[in-house]
Amino acid sequence: MAADHGLWVDAEIAGESMQLLAARALFWPRERRLFLSDLHLGKGDVFRRAGIGLPRGGTASDLGRLADAVALTGATSVWILGDVLHGAVHDSAWLRDWAAWYAAHAQVDVAALTGNHDRVLAQAGLDVELLGEAFDIGPFALRHEPVEVDGLHVLSGHLHPCIGIAELGARRWPAFWLQPRTTVLPAFSEFTGGCQVEASRADGIVVCAAGTAAWVQRRAAESAASRRRAKG
């Protein structure tokens, strides 16, 4: 895939060609695997049961974007980097939405790390493969929280990185935070807060705003590649 229409941007991470999707997911073409983090299924239900009035349909909207990401990339597997759930699981509409999504994507293998909100994930009946708290594959160390792992590049979530774009108003937008040894994915769920990215000059930032993925700050490798393309 070549990204010139804003649905994703291309980046090399740990020597692998990857696509960073506007839908807030990371695609590994060689393995046809889609990574995402912080899905927070049932978060609205948890809040409503606590007496906080919220509109319904948030999970259905998130799962619709996930279906679109699978269709766009042709992914054969979806791996969630923790916080699949937000809390306790009840017989609620979001659980039926998940069951419908899962049945419609029976050809897609779904696996998940355990995040800090996933205390009941093993008993939730979501039919996902459990990868534990840490899983290493190829050049990547998969973790929920960003840490350093010797010899591997960490793919993680948890922080919900965001960044402000002056041209798009006062709100902050979810972003990928590409550091030399760690890539932090944005929260996939739209119903989340965010942590303002404090990037160094060595970092790359890709914002997911208004259905578009775009570089806000390029890493040195992407800057050099961009100059080569410009010289053509």
CATH no. for residue 28? 3.60.21.10
User: DSSP secondary-structure letter at 149?
Assistant: B
219 in any annotated domain: yes
Question: Please, where are the H alpha helices in 10-79?
Answer: 43-49, 58-73
- Minimum mean pLDDT among 75-84, 138-147, 215-224: which range? 215-224
Q: What is the pLDDT of residues 191-216, one digit of tens each?
A: 677 788 888 999 999 999 989 999 99
Q: What is the pTM of this model?
A: 0.87
Instruction: Tell me which residue of 131, 120, 122 sits closest to 78, measured CA to CA.
Output: 131
Q: Is 23 helix (H, G, I), strand (E, B) or coil?
A: coil
1 in any annotated domain: no
Residues linked to residue 143 through DSSP beta bridges, in sequence order: 134
Please tell me which of 11-15, 127-131, 188-192 the model is most confident about, judged by mean pLDDT: 11-15
Tokens of 92: 């609620």
Domain total in the chain: 1
Question: Residue 227: in which H helix or E strand, if any?
Answer: helix 220-231
3 in any annotated domain: no
Q: What is the pLDDT of residues 29-65, one digit of tens each?
A: 999 999 999 988 876 555 444 444 444 556 888 999 9
Structural domain harbouring 110: 8-231
